[in-house]
Amino acid sequence: MKMIWSALSKEGERAFNEDAYYADAEHMIYLVADGMGGLGYGYEAAKKSCFYMAEFLESMIQNKDATWAFERKEELTLSENIMRISLKLANERIYQESIEEFGKELMGATLVGCLVQKNKIVFGGVGNVRVYLFRDGYLQQLNHNDTYAHDKRIVPPRSEINIPLTVLGLNEKIETIFTSERSLREGDQIVFLTDGVTGALKNDELQKILSHKTPDLHETCEKIIDQAQSKNPSDNATILILEVAT
């Protein structure tokens, strides 16, 4: 199955961009991370989370018979378990590096990524980076809002408590991990967004922009980021769009 992709990340009015994305068309790995700037090393955490997640995924894909670092969950597929364990390994590595370098937990990031395998796609992630499926003109959010605001059923979320419940690097172990496996069809678009976009644009606004398809995915990325930052320029904003080529 042939995939095309494009991505865009802008810092907005912030001094630094603490989002990161990763795209490996050869191994079909695509990741988006949002570093927690309040900890002081948000960009490093986002970059490391993408790097380690991709590294572990590639290793596990190439050597599926290797001894697993964590127990498999029987209710998950093999691919979902690979995503889950790669996230756990990435979390451990970032946590250990933070303790070794700074003496405490100063690196944290949320991340959602996918692995494309033939005609299916497998997702894994923690935190509040969102992933959507855009199919036949309809936008569907695939992961839940893993934030204090969502957990306490506060609508709309107040910005001061719109904090992710699970973060890579802040604790030695993580348990709440999103995984999902879906089939793909020609024309499907998978859209990854950091909260600099989802905090500014509602799902129906995103759907409207995506409905006006153009041959250039980067043009769509620019439209979404520009519209998000026109409403909320104070945050970093990142998008990655993956499309099943027709």
Preceding peptide of 164 cis, ω within 30°: no
186 — phi, psi (to 5°)?
-55, 135
**pLDDT, tens only, 32-77:** 999 986 666 888 899 999 999 999 998 877 876 766 778 888 999 9
Q: Domains in the chain and their CATH numbers?
A: 3-244 (3.60.40.10)
In whole angstroms, give the CA distance from residue 218 to residue 76. 34
Rg, C-alpha atoms of the chain? 17
Band of residue 161 on the pLDDT scale cut at 50, 70, 90 = low
The pLDDT tens digits for 13-26 are 888 899 999 999 99
Q: Read off the pLDDT of residues 212-226 as tens digits, 9 standing for 90 and up.
A: 988 899 999 999 999
User: Residue 19: which residues within 8 A CB-CB, separation 6 or more?
Assistant: 9, 32, 33, 34, 35, 46, 194, 196, 236, 237, 238
- What burial class does residue 63 get, using C-beta atoms within 10 Å of its C-beta: 0-12 exposed, 13-18 middle, 19+ buried? exposed
Q: How far apart are CA 167 and CA 145, in angstroms?
A: 13
